[in-house]
Amino acid sequence: MRTKVLGMVLCASVALSLTACGSNNSDNSSNQGNAAGNNATSSNSNSASANSNAAETNTDSAVKDDGPFSKYDQTVTVSLGRQGVSGNNLPDGDTLENNQYLKYVEDRLNVKVNYDFSVEDLDAYNQKVNLTIASGDIPDIMVVDEQQFKRLAQAGLLADLTSVYEKYSSPLIKEYYSSYSGDRVLNTGRVDGKLLGLPNTNIDGSYQLLWVRKDWLDKVGLQLPKSLDDVKAIAKAFKEQDPDGNGKPDTVGLLGDKSLVGDGGFFTFDPVFNLNHSYPKSWFKDASGNIVYGSTTPETKQALGQLSEMYKDGLIDKEFLTRKWEDNAGLVSGGKAGILFAPWFAGWMISDSVKADPNADWVPIAAPLDSDGKRNVVPSAPSGSFLVVSKDAEHPEAALKMLSVEYEGIRLIDPASAELYKDKGVGWLNYPLNLQLDFQDALARDIPVYEKVIKDGDTANLPARLIPRVNSVLKNNKDPKKDIPAFADSLAFFTAGAVTGAKEITKVEPIFYGKTETMVKRGANLDKLENETFLRIITGAAPLDDFDKFVSTWKSTGGDAIAKEVADAVK
């Protein structure tokens, strides 16, 4: 499931500028494994453009003028290391190292890209990056994770991009970063006041909504839920009252996933924890100003008690421990499940249910609410990966220029980019720099556009990037559920997207998102201890009071050390 959901999260983020996980021009809704694109996130390598001739040299005189879109007089060659694109759907004959997206960037800037390495598998890619860091010989440009970024900075291997960013970033790139208040994203790439890396941006809104089949609610005589008690009543009815009408006891209650919580997670129980003001796996300050780990609070124990009771009463799917993501998705598409927690982009998965049964009427809502009528949520970590440039790169500004040109193509700002792989659904990750950027409120800011075109039908002067999605919304509004790809896009981007901005949503911001030294060393064991304890409590294999033993063990085996490191980092 981890690969599937990671795929969906990434695609969902960049899909806000495109259509689902297809190309900038695809009218098709993507197959969901992509929010991180059904892992449309990787591919192969070995540079087809590795053979540069004598004219393709890097010289200071190559710069024609000062600007993000200025073309070099002489060809500038840059070396690149990157994760490839797994399951790539490039046309036959095209590769990561030789395709229209890459050529578009190269031609506009007179830049030649040579791939030092490209590795599809994330773990293998990280191993390759770690080896290059250890050797001290890194490519001109690559994208790294937080720990690799820190190691590169400490080793003095990175170029200072402070002035380069100001001069060579396009207005759009700067607007993306400024949409995150207080430079809180861009600052994650600063070390001692120097901008040593360009962070990716994670859009807002990946928290779980409650998805429920309204047609089943009508059949069992219940209303859309607000409280956890409402959710329990619905789960019980869906399990016991034959909502699919086949006369068999073959429907389940609330779906679950053994990961229990996670940003962008499908079938997880984040909303149950959150209504108790419990925020597992996040760091906060308590009322006394102490830094606390959300998984160790009394509120988390309370939430575990509620989930344990729900499981004992059969309201949570009894088989959730052994089900994979695909199993749960199959229960949805097969009409055996009618209530679950998942993000807005679950609309693509849920559309399979409607394909099988046009009467299926799925409604996303911000629920369950706490006693104050709020749906508390933890925003996504603002960033987690960084585009870095070697201190030995002859043209560090080329990275910013490439990124600026690339996003003119991804967002279809340049009309010529709309012709690249037109209607072929080729993923954006085939552009040379796989750094995901968008506005923090990218999802919410498009909702008024859909509302307006539904009202007046006027599609004039729309940004090119929005036209495929607007067409989907209009098509589905005219003939609901007749075109499943259009329905899926409309359900995700418009119907569910609007709910992410519901007045009940209350954001609870952690004080720390990164990883400390002890987290890296002991985090896997501590996470295992936490997950196993929580699962045993929920399923009744351990008493609720085992939570207190967990907290004590967690603190003594690394938790206290991590808390101190977090406190130091916050200071």
pLDDT higher than threshold 70 for residue 482: yes
Q: Which long-range contacts (CB under 8 A, 24 or more apart) does 120-129 make?
A: 120/42, 120/43, 120/44, 120/83, 120/84, 120/85, 120/86, 121/42, 121/86, 122/42, 122/83, 125/42, 125/82, 125/83, 125/84, 128/81, 129/81
C-alpha span between 476 and 480 (Å, rounded) = 5
Q: Which of 526, 565, 544, 517 is nearest to 154 (CA)?
A: 517
- Residue scoring higher pLDDT (59 or 437): 437
Q: Coil, helix or strand for 84? A: coil
C-alpha span between 477 and 260 (Å, rounded) = 35
Q: Which of 205, 242, 234 is nearest to 217 (CA)?
A: 234
> Side chain identity at 519, as an amino acid letter?
M
Which residues are 199's β-sheet partners? 386
Q: How confident is the model at residue 118 (pLDDT cuts 50, 70, 90)?
A: very high
Instruction: Give the model's pLDDT for residue 423.
Output: 86
CA angle 85, 88, 92 (to 5 degrees): 135
> Side chain identity at 39, as an amino acid letter?
N
C-alpha span between 295 and 278 (Å, rounded) = 7
What single DSSP character describes residue 224? P
pLDDT higher than threshold 70 for residue 40: no
C-alpha span between 88 and 418 (Å, rounded) = 20
pLDDT higher than threshold 50 for residue 43: no
Q: How confident is the model at residue 122 (pLDDT cuts 50, 70, 90)?
A: very high
> Is there a contact between 265 and 271 (Cβ–Cβ < 8 Å)?
no
pTM of the model: 0.85
Q: Which of 479, 451, 454, 239 is nearest to 354 (CA)?
A: 479
Tens-digit pLDDT profile for residues 441-455: 999 999 999 999 999
- Residue scoring higher pLDDT (238 or 15): 238
Strands (E) in 84-151, as ranges, are 111-119, 141-145
Instruction: Give the model's pLDDT for residue 56.
Output: 35
Residue-by-residue DSSP string for 263-303: TT-SS--HHHHHHTT--TT-EEE-TTS-EEEGGGSHHHHHH
Tens-digit pLDDT profile for residues 246-298: 999 999 999 999 999 999 999 999 999 999 999 999 999 988 888 999 999 99
Tell me the average pLDDT across 369-389.
94
Token readout for 306 is: 């509620």
> Is there a contact between 308 and 538 (Cβ–Cβ < 8 Å)?
yes
Q: Which of 17, 22, 71 is nearest to 424 (CA)?
A: 22
What single DSSP character describes residue 539? T
- Phi then psi for residue 543, to 5 deg, are -70, 160
Instruction: Give the model's pLDDT for residue 8.
Output: 55
Quote the percentage of the chain above a pLDDT of 70.
Answer: 89
C-alpha span between 209 and 339 (Å, rounded) = 11
Residue 432: asked if its preceding bond is cis (omega within 30°), the reply is no
CA angle 380, 385, 386 (to 5 degrees): 135
pLDDT higher than threshold 50 for residue 2: no
C-alpha span between 350 and 342 (Å, rounded) = 10
Tell me the average pLDDT across 16-36.
37
Q: Where are the domains of the chain?
A: 44-204+383-430
Instruction: Give the model's pLDDT for residue 88.
Output: 85
Question: What's the N-to-C CA distance of the chain in angstroms?
Answer: 37
Instruction: Give the model's pLDDT for residue 514.
Output: 87
Q: How confident is the model at residue 425 (pLDDT cuts 50, 70, 90)?
A: confident
Domain 44-204+383-430 bears CATH identifier 3.30.465.10: no
Residue-by-residue DSSP string for 400-460: HHHHHHHHHHHTT-SGGGGGTTTTS---GGGSS-------TTHHHHHHHHHHHHHHH---T
Quote the percentage of the chain above a pLDDT of 90.
Answer: 80
pLDDT higher than threshold 70 for residue 35: no
C-alpha span between 490 and 394 (Å, rounded) = 46
Q: How confident is the model at residue 60 (pLDDT cuts 50, 70, 90)?
A: very low
Burial of 555 (0-12, 13-18, 19+ CB in 10 A): middle
What single DSSP character describes residue 72? P
Q: Count Cβ atoms below 10 Å from residue 466 Cβ, excluding itself.
A: 22
Chain mean pLDDT for the chain = 89
Tens-digit pLDDT profile for residues 412-424: 999 999 999 998 8
pLDDT higher than threshold 70 for residue 38: no
> Is there a contact between 505 and 274 (Cβ–Cβ < 8 Å)?
no
Q: Find the helix packing angle between 517-538 and 560-570, rounded to 10°.
A: 130
